[in-house]
Structure 1
Amino acid sequence: MYQPGDYKHVNYLWDDAYANTLDPVERLVYRSNILGDDQRITNTGGGNTSSKIMMPDPLTGEKVDIMYVKGSGGDLRTAKRANFASLYMDKLNALKGVYDSADEKGVKTEIEDAMVGMYPHCVYNLNPRASSIDTPLHAFIPYRHVDHTHPNAVIAIAACSNGPQLTKEIYGDEVVWVDWQRPGFDLGLVLEEALQMNPGIKGIILGAHGLINWADDDKECYELSLTLIEKAARYLEAHDQGDKTFGGQQYQALPELDANNILYTTLPTLRGMVSQDQRFIGTVQMDEAIMTFVNSKDAVRLAELGTSCPDHFLRTKIKPLFVDWNPQAEDVDALMAKLETGMAQYREDYAAYYNQCKHPDSPAMRDANPRVILIPGIGMIAWGKNKSESRVTAEFYNNAVAVMRGAESVGEYVALPRQEAFDIEYWALEEAKLRRMPPEKALARNIVMVIGAGSGIGESTALRVAKDGGQVVCVDLNADAAQATAAKLTDIYGMGIGVAGTGISGCGPAIGLSADITNRESVRAMLNQVLLAYGGIDNVIVTAGVFVPPDKSGHVSDDKWRFTFDVNVMGGYIVADEARRIWEEQGLTGTLVLTTSVNAAVSKKGSVAYDTSKAAANHLVRELAVELSPLVRVNGLAPATVVEGSSMFPRDRVISSLTKYNIDYSDAEETEALRSKLANFYAQRTLTKQPITPDDQAEVAYLLSTDAFSKTTGQIFSVDGGLHEAFLR
């Protein structure tokens, strides 16, 4: 064992003072979390841990041996007590007889799947957490604590042509090799036999899969995991090829500015290509590790082989799309042509893989588009159903690259045979897991940009679209306000899985950006940042607006008049015009919602510039609906006076209005209290007698961005509480 300060390739995180305050199950959760916190130890959602604990039987009160093991789904880094299945050890051992009986009849394939259905009969204390297929790997190892991890360093050995010999060289007699086989009941029996045949061993390398090790003390088990991983990592480090890694470099990385300019041009089209069946969100990676791979001489060969660890290709598909483009000699047009050709070939290859490997009862072929795209000089673009998933896809291919680098440094990298890969990808149990997932929300897989998101209606709209699955781009003239709204969304929904310690650039479910919508260059620069963050855009909601009151004589100066129209009319046009390129290059349907006002239909004293600009904005909605059809639906949201949280109602304007309408107030009252008084006054002018809130507007903006209004465009929707003066005439 190494001492805590000796580890170079993993993080030693065990804290005795904290661990000693925990009960046995909580210590298992703690051990799992600190293992999962280091991406070099195990990948997101991968690996599992267990502890065998004496617990009171709920019926008899007698102490019984119970195994707690990470259940199906979930992630070691974020796992809680509820993520662990609990099963009676005596009942798990009794399942061996059931399995052996079926095996004698020659139906092992069927019984492997059927055994998963037997685990609920072994559940302790009515625990609802579904058991993992790896349950037998833990149950049949005769030690109290077991860690099964997917460390890049160990998988590099497990995916190497001379893996068994390397295992012996690195570990001596402490660790033995077991050939690849699909996880399940039989593999658990194989591990049990390996321990019987090799008494005293501390761990097993599972060919093409990972590491499993054990101890009778949980801290000792944790430290053993780190030690075995550290030994493999140090061995690989000593044999690293340096400048000759992956055969050496064939291409040079483009300067970041040049690479970004190419991505601004290509990402919308690329997103449209991968989203032919369903929309995907992108993550771009351009760091040294991935660039070393994509620019190398061996990248084409290794990418074609695909990944080795089953956990990897379930996320990344059987292989990536490698675009054989020369960044030093070919232009963007050549890249686009090769992307189009490569995508078509990838789909053909995937269909051929499916047809060659499928069984009579295999599920139907899934989306044949790649999840990982590699471009020399530029880097990697990974795709997922949301930002979190695309980051995980990127993380997993990073793991695959690290595995290939290690394996190629000490031998020859070997991927899983295609049939084995297929049988895991299209495993009936995996299909059942997919079918159990809840239906996707209305704005899932959509990138929604809310302009004016720093306060008022825009902030409420950002919160509303995020609630139903949208990846939200919060835009405001005030950068701090935009970022504050994005931070609020991140606090609510989290960064998602696959973020900690990955080094993958990008963002979470929301990003905050600044833009001046009256300045085309500012809008274009903001949209470029959106492309790098998510890969495209689907829905745009503009809530930004300005009200400039006249002076005391009732006059509106020319510059204030111009400013009002610049923000309320031209700003919406510039946003639509700049987003148009992205929509058209994606080829995906989208929506645009412009916030106008019921004042557009009501003539009144004191707001001539504002009211006229909103009337123009109403017609802009209709014109853009024609211009952007049939790809983009354009509708208008027309609020009545929304006072609550509105940046257009600062304290001085509220006080001015209260004074104008002879409403009692005190200077000592909070601004929101004053706003509430004014809002209630305005409410009495409506038919419903209720104040209009930002949430009222957000709900309609959200609905107009969903398929609920898929056949509606060019319309203005008033959300005014019932102002009869604004009724259509």
Structure 2
Amino acid sequence: MSAQYSEYKFVDALWDDATANALSPVERLVYRSNILGSDQRITNTGGGNTSAKIMETDPLTGEKVEVLWVKGSGGDLRTSKVENFSSLYQDKLIGLQKIYADTTPNGPKTAIEDEMVNMYPHSTFNLNPRPSSIDTPLHSFIGAKHVDHMHPIAFIALAACKNSEALTREIYGDELAYLPWQRPGFDLGLKMQAIYQTNKKARGINMGQHGLINWADDDKECYQLTLDLIEKAGRFIETKDRGADTFGGQKYGKLDEDTARRLTIELLPFLRGQVSQQTRFIGTVHRTDEALEFINSNDAKRLAEIGTSCPDHFLRTKIKPLYVEWDPTTGDVDSLKELIVSSLEQYRADYREYYEACKHDNSPAMRDPNPTVILIPGLGMIAFGKNKSESRVTAEFYNCAIGVMRGAEAIDEYIGLPRQEAFDIEYWLLEEAKLQRMPKEQEFARKVVVVVGAGSGIGKETAIRFATEGAHIVCADLDEEAARTTATEIASKFGKGIGVAGTGISSCGMAIGCRMDITDSASIEACYNEVIYAYGGIDVVALTAGIFLAPTANGEFSTKQMELVFKINAIGPYLIGHTAKPIFEAQGAHLKSAVVITTSVNGVVSKKGSVAYDSSKAATNHVVRELAVELAPFARVNAVAPATVVKGSLMFPRDRVIASLSKYDIAFSEDEDTEALRLKLAEFYAQRTLTKEPITPEDQANAIFFMASDKASKTTGQVINVDGGLYEAFLR
């Protein structure tokens, strides 16, 4: 079969024969899945599934058997590999129909449907560990060799129409059958099997309020059919497009980008605090023209109340978003905050009523009643999730829902899932079991940590330390290139993406590189604003930046030198904490925050030739105590005091290290690299401590991490020495 369209407008045709022909049958399935999943107009992240029935050699009998390869539970088509697919004996899956028939004499029951899912592992081929999805019977019971089940925006618009069945006949004739909404499972698979066996003209099914499923006996033909069916829906909707009257026309005007960004940054920490009263969230700002067209429209509030239709969208976006009816032309953020408070109270009450009205005797306990999607005219969509990835995907899903509503309203009338059906998906016991099996969240997975001085030394190790516990990391440094390098290394190591501050893109990953001059309040605020726009707020600020200046040859310090050292080492820490104060206050005292400042044991130990550094660090120690008072109860403020951390430190450049080695008569060669020389000096300093071990950046990072963690939740205003045991620095 050749493609129906020579050119596509609503999908991307990506199949390449040369690539496909070099692959095995299973690899061709993965290839088909990847190119379908790469186009978000075809299916959303983690959504949809594909399958192929392939003849394989049975490892037990050596005979050829038919095996269903189908995308497994929790996979994503765009990124899937062979290991993300389940493999099951096709004859054993078909054999389960007798078990199902024997247990459902009076028709399908939810309990039996769920029990059947537990039978799929008994059909596993070749000990494949990938769990099967609930859609497995849909793919197995349709007799064709290849099946695609997608969630295309254009097609869901048709599926979510009030008169979807009639429209399906009008657009596709006998090519597509129609099934009203039914939760995926064994019974739905049987209904699809009946259509496949009795309706020979049908090549697919409109799954009402859900999506599209279609089939063919050739994989390329199945792929092309998927594209053609979606394209036909898109072209039909295009003929009905309402232009300027879409969503009833615009109720509110569009703000310019600078104004919208400024107002959003002013709002976000407060908003994050309000929705995080039960569980801490990370935010994503989604401000596309398509989203604003919807949010600023006359119909937005009505349609938002209906909620989403496709269950894949719904599971991320909850029963409905929160629409805040605010006039952006006023620019009055205080009135917006008041509206948010009252709107959230009503949303939570609505959610509790929804839960109580729909719950079953065995339903899981009510989950967080706060919205995950908030729509604000002029500003756009703000989505929340347990981490950046989830909040970004939530925004993506609701953006898909907007596209669905646009199409449905153009050709008919948009409808959402019945509340009870929506509840039964959200609180499905199988879904709850999946949530319970998920590993425990890392302590900092929901937190945003700004590490100042992250370009090298202690700061870099601190950023990495927090990243190992799942934190969203902002690598700030006077050297912007070094900050970005650290952020890139973290993103590469932990595989969660990188953003660059200053781009205005809030779709960043877990790491951001940001320039910051700690002596300049405007520079600090600019970096913090980037963090807020990227993640919604700040939870921890760890300051590791500082400066050491040696005296002149005669041992003197100039006034200019003293001023610079105090400006960086004492005033800088104050500005770091003080500038963060309004952010912490806006988030609220229930979102406990922390500031950890690196000082030095030199702050309590006097020695010759270091008056500028030592006295500045003594001032820093008291700044810590003052900030602890100033930022309470919103944030704890503590300090870590190292001693002679030489490894990787910019405070120990090569010339200073060589000078120190010469001063202490430590043998060295000019040919040795800087790190080797630093190691020699570190070993010398270690012998002056009680533990006799060099103090490393990793030691400081662990201490900073501890002071920022919940394990130190009752500690503030303290300076903790991490110096290997210098008795000269013991408290007197």
Task: Verify same fold: TM over 0.5.
Answer: yes
1:106 and 1:291 mapped to 2: Cα distance?
46
1:667 and 1:406 mapped to 2: Cα distance?
72
Moved more, 621-630 or 631-640: 621-630
Task: Please say if 1:687 is aligned against 2:695.
Answer: no
Moved more, 346-355 or 4-13: 4-13
CA offsets, 1:604-633, max 9 Å, x none? 112111111111111222222222223311
Q: TM-score, normalised by structure 1?
A: 0.97
| Cα displacement (A) at 1:16 | 2.5
2:444 and 2:163 mapped to 1: Cα distance?
48
Q: 1:622-633 counterparts in 2 under 5 A?
A: 622-633=625-636
1:232 and 1:657 mapped to 2: Cα distance?
75
SS in 2 for 1:537: coil
Equivalence for 2:348: 347
Moved more, 160-169 or 332-341: 160-169
Check whether the contact 1:541–1:593 (CA below 8 A) recurs between aligned residues: yes
Residue 681 of structure 1 aligns with an amino acid whose one-letter code is F
Q: Say if 1:24 and 1:2 are closer, same or farther in 2 by CA, change over 3 A.
A: closer
Equivalence for 1:713: 716
Equivalence for 2:78: 77
Q: Say if 1:78 and 1:257 are closer, same or farther in 2 by CA, change over 3 A.
A: same
Task: Please say if 1:139 is aligned against 2:143.
Answer: no
SS in 2 for 1:148: strand
Using the aligned pairs only, state the percent identity. 62
1:456 and 1:506 mapped to 2: Cα distance?
28
Task: Please say if 1:651 is aligned against 2:654.
Answer: yes
SS in 2 for 1:402: helix
Unaligned runs of 5+ in 1: 498-502
Check whether the contact 2:497–2:508 (CA below 8 A) recurs between aligned residues: no
Equivalence for 2:623: 620
Equivalence for 2:94: 93
Q: Following superposition, which runs of at least 4 residues in structure 1 exceed 3 angstroms of deviation?
A: 1-5
Equivalence for 1:221: 222
Task: Please say if 1:364 is aligned against 2:365.
Answer: yes
Check whether the contact 1:448–1:470 (CA below 8 A) recurs between aligned residues: yes
| Cα displacement (A) at 1:107 | 5.8
Q: Say if 1:75 and 1:301 are closer, same or farther in 2 by CA, change over 3 A.
A: same
1:129 and 1:606 mapped to 2: Cα distance?
65
Q: Given the alignment, which residue of 603, 606, 612 partners 1:600?
A: 603
SS in 1 for 2:174: coil
2:104 and 2:267 mapped to 1: Cα distance?
54
SS in 2 for 1:289: helix
Count of residues paired in the alignment:
725
Q: Say if 1:91 and 1:180 are closer, same or farther in 2 by CA, change over 3 A.
A: same
Check whether the contact 1:4–1:12 (CA below 8 A) recurs between aligned residues: no
CA offsets, 1:440-492, max 9 Å, x none? 11112111111111111111111110110111111111111111111112112
1:657 and 1:3 mapped to 2: Cα distance?
78
| Cα displacement (A) at 1:329 | 4.1
Unaligned runs of 5+ in 2: 499-503
Residue 681 of structure 2 aligns with an amino acid whose one-letter code is L
1:677 and 1:18 mapped to 2: Cα distance?
56
Q: Say if 1:387 and 1:557 are closer, same or farther in 2 by CA, change over 3 A.
A: same
Q: 1:468-483 counterparts in 2 under 5 A?
A: 468-483=469-484
Q: 1:308-707 counterparts in 2 under 5 A?
A: 308-329=309-330, 331-495=332-496, 505-587=506-588, 588-707=591-710
Check whether the contact 2:255–2:378 (CA below 8 A) recurs between aligned residues: yes
Q: Say if 1:162 and 1:702 are closer, same or farther in 2 by CA, change over 3 A.
A: same
Residue 182 of structure 2 aligns with an amino acid whose one-letter code is Q
Check whether the contact 1:494–1:508 (CA below 8 A) recurs between aligned residues: no
Residue 179 of structure 2 aligns with an amino acid whose one-letter code is V
2:231 and 2:674 mapped to 1: Cα distance?
59
Residue 577 of structure 2 aligns with an amino acid whose one-letter code is A
CA offsets, 1:1-59, max 9 Å, x none? 43796122222222322222322222222221111111111111111111111112121
Task: Please say if 1:102 is aligned against 2:103.
Answer: yes
Equivalence for 1:68: 69
Equivalence for 2:167: 166
Moved more, 225-234 or 403-412: 225-234
Q: Say if 1:571 and 1:496 are closer, same or farther in 2 by CA, change over 3 A.
A: closer
Check whether the contact 1:36–1:44 (CA below 8 A) recurs between aligned residues: yes
Q: Say if 1:594 and 1:77 are closer, same or farther in 2 by CA, change over 3 A.
A: same
Moved more, 659-668 or 43-52: 659-668
CA offsets, 1:294-322, max 9 Å, x none? 11010011001100000111101111110
SS in 1 for 2:147: strand
| Cα displacement (A) at 1:232 | 1.4
| Cα displacement (A) at 1:725 | 2.1
Equivalence for 2:501: none
| Cα displacement (A) at 1:666 | 2.9
2:227 and 2:658 mapped to 1: Cα distance?
65
